[in-house]
Chains A and B, each alone.
Chain A
Amino acid sequence: MQSIKIIMLVGLISFAILPQSEDKTYSLSAEVGLGYSRYFTTMDYSELNKNGFSGTVRIMWNPEHLLSIGLETGYQSLYSFDISGYETEFGSTNISASMYSVPIFIVFSMKVIPNLKLTAGSGAYLLYNSGEFFGDELSSSQISIGGHAGISYTYPLNNSMAIGGELLYSYFSKLQDQTVALQVLFAYDFLKW
């Protein structure tokens, strides 16, 4: 874990000093990712379903530099848990619980080679918890700081649109847990000047 963070940091600093692009076109682009995510935790419930859906939406400003900056939000399911006949000191009950996150991030991305980008973001995760236990609803939310890092490859369809894939690692500080998501990525330059 520690080494991944150090690699991210060194990588970011290294890329920031790469030469600038000769392309003087500025653009605003929308990037939408949809895919599968896997939750990694030390919680030891064998019934925990760690597979889920991941979706991200980014608005990126692409200046003449190789480094782009933008905002991201989205949705990522972390886990779900359903078990019947769970024995407690209050008797037997059915438990269902799930959690998903909504990121509100500042995101940086860097073209390493044409079509291949590294992405890193940080900000707040809104964490939503819901479920049912002894017939009582479980419902709460909280904020966690967090971050993610990813690598994406996009193939240009035309001057404004591209399609590709992204591998995204996310870290949730409050939970001290991670997810890894594999997404299909659509990119669209909706404004150029």
Chain B
Amino acid sequence: MKKILILFISLLLFYSCDNEVDIVTPVVDASGFLDQTYPLPENVKPIMEGVYEVTKGNELLGDQVVVKWNRDRLSIFAGKNGGYLVLESGYLDSVIFFMGYWRYSTNTETGAVTFYIPANEGGSEILSGDTTFTTIKFIGQYGNGNELAAIPLTLKYKRPFSQEVLQGNFEILAHRGGGRNSDYLGVSENSIEMINISERFGTTGIEIDARLTRDGVPFLYHDSDINLRLCQKSLIWGNVEDFTWEQLRTLITLRNGEKIPSLREALEFTLEHTNLQVVWLDTKDVDVVAESIELLTEINERAVLMGRDLKIYLGIPADDIYTKFLEQPNYLNVPSLCELSIDQVREANSKIWAPRWTQGTQTANVQQMHSEGRDAYTWTLDDANYIEQFINEGEFDGILTNYPTIVSYYHYIQQ
């Protein structure tokens, strides 16, 4: 009787757990100041990229940061708590202005940030396209939560990215299109909206999850069932693959209000609206393998015709998917990424071998893959210490992570 009572009380306590987290959304550019500035010319943006010393505001970012443009936003990656800044920009006269937010990847702390680069601290030289500038200084403030940005934060140019970084082909791959719902990024995992912002976190590639509807439409979704981790409350519940595309599309709303995307929509968006170079298409069920191959082949061909540096790989995460893959006609020519043994990588002619990170850096095996003309990615590496170790000591060509901002930091600071 006592055991049953304890079990019952445990269940009651379990129900009491509430994992809702309130994330403060910092107020950014409430006055619309940036609307009154001119957009920065594309050709001057790379001039300001590099490694910077933090001269004020070390308590927020640590001692040095990485400054990197990603499409239309300037991102700054720090070594402390996976800290990062995402900034919009504009210029007036010879002064460059930035407004945005900071956030720690590993917790929910965030706040507003403002910067400017004065004309005599690099602004004029950057805007004139002068790559032989004498200095660049970001002068600004940050705030915590909803506070106005008022705490001093200053960055000073230290050095450009190393030749190894600039000439290498290292891929920073973001999990579930850019991040998980549990990372509270404001958009839902495996959504078009997530893919749209993923480059702000430094990603050069994404991993997305594909399933197949009852009527044969591949779509993006991680779990096997409709649940409140991924979706808002809806009229339908149960196994997602029990429903048709029309039913899912109409009746399911993702956690942050987005519609569930088809795989075609996600891949076409990636092709046409991002600069992402790699898509790791993780197949969650054997039924989606054939349709995924058909679609990725079409999009890869379109990328070649567009002159776009994008490659989509079919993920082979398990033996049942592997067996199904080998049943496909012409599978040897399908770009694939195999998480299984090296022998299976060879038999499937996968272009990428992707072992779990807990198996270590496996330098000899990675070198063997390189000698066979294959790349090697590891997954899903989130711990900052191991990320640093794998980047400095390993020879992997890419890391799949939930914290691409941390991988970006350690990748770009390499000497």
Contact = CB atoms under 8 A, between A and B. Distances in A.
A192 interface: no
Interface stretch (B235-243, B267-275, B334-342): B235-243
A153 interface: no
B235 A176 contact: no
Residue among B9, B13, B14, B247 having the largest count of chain A Cβ atoms under 10 Å: B247
A41 B233 contact: yes
A106 B4 contact: yes
Interface residues of A, number: 46
Contacts of A158: none
B244 interface: yes
A31 B144 CA distance: 58
B385 interface: no
Contacts of B72: none
B246 interface: yes
Nearest to A134: B246
B227 interface: yes
B250 A133 contact: yes
A94 interface: no
B305 interface: no
A142 B18 contact: no
Contacts of B9: 9, 12-13
Given A134-B246, A174-B227, A5 B236 contact: no
Contacts of A45: 235
A13 B2 CA distance: 12
B258 to A, nearest CB: 14
Interface residues of B, number: 33
B235 A142 contact: no
Interface in A167-181: 171, 173-177
Contact of B237 (A12, A95, A142): A142
Nearest to B12: A9
Interface in A131-154: 131, 133-134, 136, 138-142, 145, 147
B234 interface: yes
B8 A108 contact: yes
Nearest to A145: B11
B24 interface: no
Residue among B12, B14, B249 having the largest count of chain A Cβ atoms under 10 Å: B12
Given A89-B249, A139-B242, A129 B8 contact: no
Given A41-B233, A140-B239, A171 B15 contact: yes
Contacts, number: 103
Contact of A6 (B1, B16, B18, B250): B16
A129 B233 CA distance: 14
A122 interface: yes
B5 to A, nearest CB: 7
A2 B4 contact: no
Contacts of B14: 145
Nearest to B214: A136
Given A5-B15, A69-B1, A171-B15, A129 B246 contact: no
B233 A43 contact: yes
Interface string A39-55: 00111010000000000
A147 B8 CA distance: 10
B290 interface: no
A97 B227 contact: no
Interface string A1-36: 010011011001100100000000000000000000
B361 to A, nearest CB: 41
Contact of A133 (B12, B15, B246): B246
Contact of B250 (A90, A99, A173): A90
B15 A147 contact: yes
A53 to B, nearest CB: 19
A2 to B, nearest CB: 6
B318 interface: no
B405 to A, nearest CB: 31
A2 B235 contact: no
Contact of A140 (B7, B237, B250): B237
Given A120-B8, A145-B11, A88 B242 contact: no
A190 B207 CA distance: 61
3 nearest A-B pairs in the assembled complex, by CB-CB distance: A140-B238, A97-B235, A140-B242
13 contacts: A5-B16, A9-B12, A9-B13, A43-B233, A81-B235, A89-B250, A106-B8, A108-B5, A108-B8, A127-B238, A129-B238, A136-B215, A175-B233
Interface of A: 2, 5-6, 8-9, 12-13, 16, 41-43, 45, 67, 69, 79, 81, 88-90, 93, 95, 97, 99, 106, 108, 120, 122, 127, 129, 131, 133-134, 136, 138-142, 145, 147, 171, 173-177
Given A2-B16, A8-B12, 15 more contacts: A5-B16, A12-B8, A43-B235, A95-B235, A97-B251, A133-B247, A133-B250, A134-B247, A140-B236, A140-B243, A142-B237, A145-B14, A147-B12, A147-B15, A171-B15
